[in-house]
Chains A and B, each alone.
Chain A
Amino acid sequence: MASARTTRRRVLTAAVAMAAGLSVGTGIAHAQSSKEVPITIVINQSPWFDGFQAVVEKYEKETGNQVDLDVNPFAGSLEKQRNAVRSKESPYDILVMNAGFFIEMYQGGFLEPLTDVDPQFKLDKDIYTFDDSVYWDAKDKRIDAKSGKLMSVPINPYIPLLHYRSDLYKEKGLKVPQTWDELLANAKALNDPPQRYGIVQRGARGTFDVTFDVLPYLWSYGGGLFKDQKGGDFTVTVNSGQSEAAMKMYLKLAKEAGHPSTAGQTQTNVIQAMATGRAGHIIAVLAAGTFDDPDKSIVVDDVGFAPPPHAKGYPSSPPLGHWLGGIPHNIPKNRQKAALAFLNWFQSDKAQRAYAEAGSPPVSRAVLESDMANQQKYRWMKPLAEALKHARLTFVIPESAQVLAITELRFNQIIAGDLKVADGLNKMADEISAVMKKAGYKAPELEPLKD
């Protein structure tokens, strides 16, 4: 019943959209210079939001087009976007979507492929595609750069980086670590509790918290949650020998040089620990602006950045926590066109530079590797560019939230010592496999780990 109603609505919407499209159709060719209808962007508040707003203001000034920002607490943004794309006509023209939920938007058919808005539109060659996450093959329902259509323009390149105390490194003559073992040695050297912990890790259970912290370990040991998500092999590998070794390294760091209550640490705690000089290392999404602001930190200019460490023989493998800008399907053509005009401007080199200068990490390789990167203020640019080379998507399936509900709880219990590593990983594998099988995937399990 509900679906019939929605279909009828959609037919109507499509008719209206087509009529609107016809009337403005001729304008598409010179979209960039033309005056556009006002648009609204739904976005969440974040440390990089100020930079984004500065760029938006620049756009308004340069083009005379109007852009409204609906800024939300981080927790509320997804719900608002979901509500918007499921209604008859979305109040928003651009959705700023997190790596954690853009698949849901792709899969549900809620977004308009950008090349359907304007066949001429191309992603600038300097813009990162973040493990091809901007392309979606609607027929096969998967991320694919070749068969997929361009669905979004990246907005922010959030990935975890190793943050270390460069002043203490100099003092103690330490070298930036490449492997987890080197990190462990350095963390031990800086460990001086309770004044300072060698490393502070995020072990708290949340929506995508402890799992996001554990993934760089799992992947860089050759483990993971699934064998090959993008390739469609959903064999659950969270209880492989590699995953177990990775988890043991995580716990070793926590035990020998970490915070006494790692299982209780949130991202907020972790960043605070660094800002207040309580942490020798953290692995966290880039928070350069915070640490170089004397109002927010006592370690101004004393934080260095590097890609997350890795096990011998594997590359550093940070999970992507990036943001993508997409255009809803359920808005009239002229609004889609105005939205695309903004995204197109946003990916230009000058906009990306302005974005970086306003304090947000840009999504352009050209800017990250430009001479800007030599300035002390932008010392995070090179490590970020380096880390992005191997950064991977965490999930390419819409069942991610259900899987995360499992992993968040179990990883947290393992870190808290409530579960033994092998038991916890085996349990997790059983539960993940059950969820996946119920959703219709082939998700075989490995032999359970033994103690």
Chain B
Amino acid sequence: MGRAAAASDRFWRNVTLAPALALFVLLTALPLIELALLSFHDVDWAGGVSTWRSTGISHYVALAGDNLFRVSILNTLLFSAIAVTGEMVLGFFLALLTTSVGRGRTIYRTVFLLPILMPGIIIGAIWKLMYSFDFGVINEIVTLVGLTPRDWLGDSHFALASIIVVDIWHWTPFCFLLMLASLESLPDDVFEAAEIDGASYWQILRAITLPLMLPSILVTFVFRLILAFKVFDEVYLLTGGGPGTSTEVISFTIYRRFFTEDRVGYGAAMSVTTFVLIAILIVAVIALTRRRASTS
């Protein structure tokens, strides 16, 4: 390859990356750097002018003793773990079932994808009414089958579980979609060989399908986990973090500090800490799955 070609290559290499880099630097790096700086400051407003007052690491120190923050991290972990696991399992089995039937496949596929079309805020409103203690359809069904009606959103024993159910309803389709795509792209010949060898359905599933799908399961899991950690719209409309602190999730706590209370410095420290935690968690999840995959 000539020198001219190499120069031209380098030119195009830069040009093709430039737009993405520009968006990242301007619209993500700058705000995030500001956020990081903000976490060491307090911002005061007087006479329409802002002053940044350095606070050192005091926000981070305060964070360590903030009970609400701890509760919200725990709730978010619990929420994400249960919801995403539920979504993955359900999405996987729905995908298996859908690919295993001949007729009606397209219809099922379309129906199962519908929930991702709904904005979170509408989902919140619908489920709020369906969960209503006095006239919600869920309590009607519960009464119909002879159980006691509950205040699903107002009782701290059920509130988080109720939100998890909504999240599973909302996001299983996403996992379903990615699982389906992964299933359909598996090579047929392996399965044919296994069937000829007389392997049972479950044996094939365990020994062939799952290991082959592991990379895409992992990617979907991580992708969903990140989204689940950011859960906000539904909680906002359904419970507002209550009753007590039973549905206090991290996005919501940050939102309150940052916006409602206008403690931007403290809110920023919370954001930074949270995404360091998520990053650690995700690296751990990936490392763990990789290790298990390589040992089995």
Interface residues of A (CB under 8 A from B): 1-3, 6-7, 10, 75, 78-79, 82, 85-86, 104, 107-110, 194, 204-207, 209, 260-261, 263-266, 269, 272-273, 276, 278, 329-330, 401-402, 405, 409, 412-413, 416, 418
Contact = CB atoms under 8 A, between A and B. Distances in A.
A194 B68 CA distance: 35
B49 A6 contact: yes
Nearest to B131: A264
Interface in B228-286: 236, 240-245, 256, 259-263
A2 B154 CA distance: 44
B201 interface: no
Contacts of B68: 409
Contact of B48 (A10, A272, A416): A10
B242 A204 contact: yes
Contact of B49 (A3, A194, A207, A266): A3
B261 A405 contact: yes
B154 A263 contact: yes
Top 6 A-B residue pairs of the complex, sorted by shortest distance between their CB atoms: A264-B154, A205-B242, A261-B151, A109-B47, A401-B261, A108-B45
B261 A86 contact: no
A322 to B, nearest CB: 19
Nearest to A109: B47
Nearest to A205: B242
Nearest to A207: B260
A266 B259 CA distance: 21
Interface in B121-172: 132-135, 151, 153-156
Contact of A109 (B48, B135, B259): B48
Given A3-B52, A264-B153, A265-B154, A416 B45 contact: no
B156 A416 contact: yes
B296 interface: no
B47 A206 contact: no
B51 interface: yes
Contacts of A276: 134-135
B50 interface: yes
Q: Which of A85, A104, A402 has the most CB of B within 10 A?
A: A402
Nearest to B266: A402
Interface of B: 45-52, 68, 132-135, 151, 153-156, 236, 240-245, 256, 259-263
Contacts of A206: 240, 242
B244 A418 contact: yes
Nearest to B52: A2
B236 A75 contact: yes
B243 A7 contact: no
Contacts of B256: 405
A75 B237 CA distance: 10
B134 A402 contact: no
Secondary structure at chain A's binding surface: helix, strand, loop or mixed? helix
B205 to A, nearest CB: 43
A330 B47 CA distance: 11
Nearest to A204: B242
Taking each of B242, B244, B245, which has the highest tally of chain A beta carbons within 10 Å of its own beta carbon?
A: B242
A109 B262 CA distance: 16
Contacts of B260: 78, 207, 401, 405
Nearest to B51: A3
A93 B51 CA distance: 25
B52 A416 contact: no
B155 A205 contact: no
Contacts of A263: 154, 242-244
A260 B134 CA distance: 10
A416 B244 contact: yes
Contacts of A269: 132
Contact of A79 (B156, B240, B259): B259
Contacts of A265: 154
A416 B243 contact: yes
A261 B133 contact: yes
A412 B50 contact: no
B155 A261 contact: yes
Contacts of A207: 240, 260
Nearest to B156: A416
Given A82-B262, A204-B243, A264-B133, A3 B156 contact: no
A136 to B, nearest CB: 13
A79 B260 CA distance: 8
A110 B134 contact: no
B207 to A, nearest CB: 49
B151 A260 contact: yes
A194 B143 CA distance: 13
A278 B132 CA distance: 13
Given A110-B48, A261-B155, A416-B156, 20 more contacts: A1-B52, A2-B51, A3-B49, A6-B50, A108-B46, A109-B45, A109-B46, A194-B134, A204-B154, A205-B242, A205-B243, A263-B242, A263-B243, A264-B151, A272-B134, A329-B48, A330-B48, A401-B262, A402-B261, A412-B242
